[in-house]
Amino acid sequence: MTSNALLCFCGSQQLYADCCEPFHLKTKQPQTPEQLMRARYSAYAVKNAAFVRDSYAKEKQAENSLSEIKDFATSCRFVNLTVLDSGYDEDTGFVKFKAHYFYQDLYCELAEHSKFIKEDEQWRYLDGEITPVADIKIKRNDTCPCGSNKKYKKCHSV
């Protein structure tokens, strides 16, 4: 499989090259908060910490260092993203989503209501309310929770 045929990490069922990659390469700007949110998720999945940092609202960039973003991205295996709802007006917007990922041997669900603002004509991520969900500890012989029907040790295990 060439990288051109890679499905996008954000779950859009489009090719990465037609979906989030142009945002990561900065050849296109996200036109909606949902596009930006998907691009941020994909950026975590491809460990593009600079994109994640630069797409925070300016006031948040200082508290989200590149090294922290990179550490989080490299310690997780991202499974899927589900956008539940989104909307926007002139210069504010929101996205409700769920993301699943593995952190070490924990299967984690992140449910978040994210807020976005427009700065310099670009959508940026401001902050979000996270709904805590219990992380599930996975054993090597368990069926992988990603939906592959494989054992965890043959699937998402490190």
Which amino acid, residue 20?
C
In the bound complex, what is the minimum distance in angstroms from residue 42's beta carbon to Zn ion? 5
Residue number with CB closer to Zn ion (49 or 155): 155
Residue number with CB closer to Zn ion (12 or 92): 12
In sequence order, which residues have a C-beta less than 8 Å from that of residue 2 and are 6 or more positions away? none
In the bound complex, what is the minimum distance in angstroms from residue 143's beta carbon to Zn ion? 9
Q: Which of residues 128-157 bind Zn ion (CB under 5 A)?
A: 144, 146, 148, 155-156
In the bound complex, what is the minimum distance in angstroms from residue 29's beta carbon to Zn ion? 14
CA distance 75 to 94: 27
Q: Which of residues 53-82 bind Zn ion (CB under 5 A)?
A: none
Backbone angles phi, psi at 133, to 5 degrees: -130, 140
* DSSP character at residue 11: S
Q: Which of residues 4-33 bind Zn ion (CB under 5 A)?
A: 8, 10, 12, 19-20
In sequence order, which residues have a C-beta less than 8 Å from that of residue 122 and are 6 or more positions away? 29, 30
Q: Which of residues 82-121 bind Zn ion (CB under 5 A)?
A: none
